[in-house]
Amino acid sequence: MRIALTLVFILAVAGAAGAGPLDAPGATKALNCAACHGPSGQSPSDAMPILAGLWPEYFKKAIQDYAAGRRPSPEMEPYAKQVLELGVDDVAAYFASQQRASTKVKVDAAAVERGRAAAQQCAVCHGSEGKGDRAKLIPDITGQPPGYLRTQMLLFKEDRRSPGDERLKALKALMKTIPDETFADLAAYFSSVR
Ligand code: HEC
Ligand code: HEC
């Protein structure tokens, strides 16, 4: 409730301020996201994904999955529901239009090299450089914070991200064959690809 009231307040203030950088319909609706995802979706944190530049189709699917509890996240579920109420297309368009800069979180060079070798098994879906496949909703994982990437791999391995999703069966079967230590190497590598 407090969150909803804060948002109404922010929207009212932004509306009263007149024309400005918050003019795009998605910009005001995305203000609450900055607390965790950083300004313009450019997360400075190791744990929070960068939203800037996400493909709107992938963004929308993620929001719908969080809101429905299919991708369980106590942090994201209330915000996802709020985004659906405000209009997910506007918010998705806003983040898609933000220039994406790679994470500044530093990684170990030796881990990057080990990860590069292990990453060959990801190329069949994510492409040889990890840039993904928009038509298949396979995300670009390059430049994301390493901590976030590692956590998501563990969640897939334990079937805790989108549990039981048939579409992710092959991905999860692959994650089960990979030792947990290797996830840190893979995360270091993909986070460092420019
Ligand atoms: C309290 C912190 C917090 C706030 C505020 C927050 N998020 Fe998130 N968000 C997270 C966390 C944590 C994750 C990763 C959850 C997981 O493990 O799937 C995440 C993940 C996401 C993802 C998935 C990214 C991907 O690459 O799959 C999207 C999209 C997203 N958030 C959008 C939003 C939007 C839009 C808002 C504002 C309306 C918002 N978030 C506000 C914490 C937050
Ligand atoms: C069979 C195809 C497939 C393979 C192989 C695959 N992935 Fe994926 N990956 C996907 C799909 C599809 C998604 C999107 C999941 C969703 O919609 O929630 C994804 C999502 C991810 C994410 C979450 C990104 C985000 O923004 O939340 C990470 C991290 C990831 N993959 C890492 C890897 C790594 C590392 C490998 C190799 C070890 C790999 N994947 C191999 C299909 C694949």
CATH of the domain at 132: 1.10.760.10
CA atoms of 120 and 3, how far apart (whole Å): 43
> Ligand 1 pocket: which of 10, 79, 83 to mutate (most atoms <8 Å of CB)?
79
Is 177 in the same domain as 150?
A: yes
CA atoms of 191 and 148, how far apart (whole Å): 10
Only one residue has tokens 């956590």, namely 151
32 lines ligand 1 (CB under 6 A): yes
Judged by average pLDDT, the poorest of 7-11, 143-147, 159-163, 180-184 is 7-11
Q: How many CA atoms lie within 13 A of 170 on its CB side?
A: 7
Is 82 in the same domain as 126?
A: no
Is 15 in the same domain as 62?
A: yes
Can you read off the two tokens belonging to residue 75? 């942090």
CA atoms of 123 and 137, how far apart (whole Å): 15
The structural domain count of the chain equals: 2
Q: For residue 41, is it within any domain?
A: no
Is 113 in the same domain as 92?
A: no
Residue-number span of the structural domain to which 124 is assigned: 109-192
Residue 27 burial by Cβ neighbours in a 10 Å radius (0-12, 13-18, 19+): buried
Please tell me which residue, 184 or 1, carries the higher pLDDT value: 184
pLDDT digits (tens, 9 = 90+) for 58-106: 999 999 999 999 999 999 999 999 999 999 999 999 999 999 999 999 9
Is 65 in the same domain as 150?
A: no
Residues 6+ apart with CB under 8 A from 131: 140, 142
Q: How many Cβ atoms are within 10 Å of 66's Cβ, its own excluded?
A: 22
pTM for the model = 0.92
Is 8 in the same domain as 92?
A: yes
93 lines ligand 1 (CB under 6 A): no
Centre of ligand 2 to C-alpha 138, Å, is 6
Is 77 in the same domain as 127?
A: no
Is 88 in the same domain as 160?
A: no
61 lines ligand 1 (CB under 6 A): no
73 lines ligand 1 (CB under 6 A): yes
CA atoms of 48 and 156, how far apart (whole Å): 17
Is 90 in the same domain as 12?
A: yes
63 lines ligand 2 (CB under 6 A): no
Please answer whether residues 78 and 69 qualify as being in contact, where contact means their C-beta atoms are separated by less than 8 angstroms.
no
- Among residues 98, 95, 96, 64, which one has the least CA distance to residue 81? 64
Centre of ligand 2 to C-alpha 24, Å, is 31
Where does a domain end: 41, 72, 96?
96
pLDDT at 5 over 60: no
Is 150 in the same domain as 126?
A: yes
Is 89 in the same domain as 10?
A: yes
Ligand with the closest atom to the CA of 170: 2
Please answer whether residues 112 and 192 qualify as being in contact, where contact means their C-beta atoms are separated by less than 8 angstroms.
yes
Is 11 in the same domain as 84?
A: yes
CA atoms of 152 and 186, how far apart (whole Å): 12
Q: Which whole number is the average pLDDT over 153-180? A: 97
Only one residue has tokens 């993909």, namely 190
Centre of ligand 2 to C-alpha 175, Å, is 9
Q: For residue 157, is it within any domain?
A: yes
